[in-house]
Copies of this chain bind each other. A is one copy, B any other.
Amino acid sequence: MLGLLSFPGERTGYELKKWADSSLRFFYWSPALSQIYAELRRLETLGYVTSTRSGPEEPRTKRCYAITGAGRRALTAWADGEEDAGPPVLKHPLVLRVWLGHLADPVRLAERVAAHVVRTQAALDDVRQALERAQGVTDWAHPQVALRWAERQHLAELELAHAMLADLDRLPPPEAESQLPYGAPTDG
């Protein structure tokens, strides 16, 4: 939240959610709206953000948040501090399913990988749209670098899926007993 607010301008919780959905989520994650609102209130008690209720000139009642000097210092302490931010964390349900391939129908498994390719292509389109929007804004050099990373990452994800598909194709056909319904219990 502080990171999003560290770029010029004030935003509502709702706007922050949209921005996270369209950009942050490609290399980090997009929190639920309920968490965003809760977190903004928490950051305000910490003195890291200030909020202004919109007056009657605005069409809607909304609360706009801005980062404070203390908030910027706290954020910079993380972004430019000594501490190790930790390794990337990846949770890949598709690869988990492939890992459990002995329980699945090979044809269906391959279809799932193909579906993953389609989903990744759609995500890649979203990344590219975010990149286009980012290119219009000055002082967004670093977000652009992050989004270019995300674009290449999605391209790599496509290649990875194709290579895995080829690996699965090369697998010897399952034994006769495994051609019965998959995962038929043998105990318990």
Q: Which residues of A contact B (CB under 8 A)?
A: 3, 6-7, 24, 27-29, 50, 66-73, 75-76, 79-80, 85-105, 108-109, 119, 123, 139, 141-143, 145-146, 148-150, 152-153, 156-157, 159-160, 163-164, 167-168, 171-172, 182-183, 185-188
Contact = CB atoms under 8 A, between A and B. Distances in A.
Contacts of A104: 76, 79-80
A165 to B, nearest CB: 10
A87 B182 CA distance: 24
A183 B92 contact: no
Contacts of A70: 185, 188
Contact of A150 (B73, B76, B91, B95): B95
Contacts of A182: 76, 80
A29 B87 CA distance: 12
A112 to B, nearest CB: 8
Contacts of A75: 100, 103, 183
